[in-house]
Amino acid sequence: MNPKKKIALITGASSGLGAAYARLLDREGLDELWLVARRADRLTKLAETLTTTCRCLPLDLAQETNLDVLEQALAAANCQIAYLVNAAGFGCIGLSRECSRKKLQEMVKLNALAAMGITEICIPLMTKGSIILEVASCAAFQPIPNLTVYAATKAFLLSYSRALHVELQDLGINVTAVCPFWIKDTEFVAKARETDKRQIYQDMPGATNAKHVAEKSLKAAKSGTAVCTPDTVSFLHRIITAIIPHRLLAQACKG
């Protein structure tokens, strides 16, 4: 029987942080990179710049049936997953009652349900030394008005990741929740602002960049870190939210 292919699976690879992880994992000597997002053209363009063989999977991960498609493709591939990066996600800035319910539900499906579902699909295909990066956000650390549902999805992902980190310790698989502050060079903010009717969002001092977050968090994951705050603001946010009651912090964020 042929030896199993060693692969990395990266969701959200068509842009921003996911693409930055793909560029980093291109240097890991893997047999294949599996790149997942909806925009096929963007995945193909990225694949053309990488040296590792890429498999592009243009899938809408908010559709549950596409998780079955992914599961079947993995089962047919005789592969071992060395890295899983769940970076696909989006946010909506503004009062939740001013965002469409469908969009809010889609956010939960993508940021929370799909990330969890893909992780569960991948775990049986992992071995000792495999790494899971769940891209959450420092929004996971507290309830945030005007980012209500987004922060809740990331809180789910953070809690799930932290428990999984412990569950998988005996198998030698590391799970790292990545919790950055705003990142300025991705498409995230522009998309999240589409619902920002009151123009609440302002450019944030301390915003970081995708390459930095990907590099710092991959290094942290390799050293077994459970929760990575890759920039100064997210680091301080984590400390503050461990000390100050969340009802007070939520009020302070009301704007």
CB 56 within 8 A of CB 156: no
Residue 89 interacts with ligand NAP (CB under 6 A): yes or no: yes
Q: Does 22 interact with ligand NAP (rule: CB under 6 A)?
A: no
Of 110, 147, 152, 177, the one binding ligand NAP (CB under 6 A) is 110
Candidates 4, 5, 6, 38: give the one binding ligand NAP (CB under 6 A): 38
Calculate ∠ Cα 156-161-165, nearest 5°.
Answer: 155
Query: Is 160 one of the annotated active-site residues of the chain?
Result: no
The single residue among 94, 117, 180, 230 that binds ligand NAP, judged by CB under 6 A, is: 180
How many CB atoms are closer than 10 A to CB 79? 20
* Position among 187, 194, 223, 244 found at the interface with ligand NAP (CB under 6 A): 187
As measured in angstroms, the least distance from the Cβ of 171 to ligand NAP is 25
Contacts of residue 38, Cβ cutoff 8 Å, sequence gap at least 6: 14, 58, 59, 60
SS3 (DSSP) at 84: strand
**Site mask for ligand NAP (CB under 6 A), range 125-144, x = bound:** ----------x-x-------
In degrees, rounded to 5, the angle at the alpha carbon of residue 111 between the alpha carbons of residues 110 and 114 is: 50
Instruction: Label the pairing between strands 32-37 and 53-58.
Output: parallel
The reply on whether position 33 binds ligand NAP by CB under 6 A is no
Residues that bind ligand NAP (CB under 6 A): 12, 14-18, 37-39, 42, 60-62, 87-91, 110, 135, 137, 180, 182-183, 186-189, 191
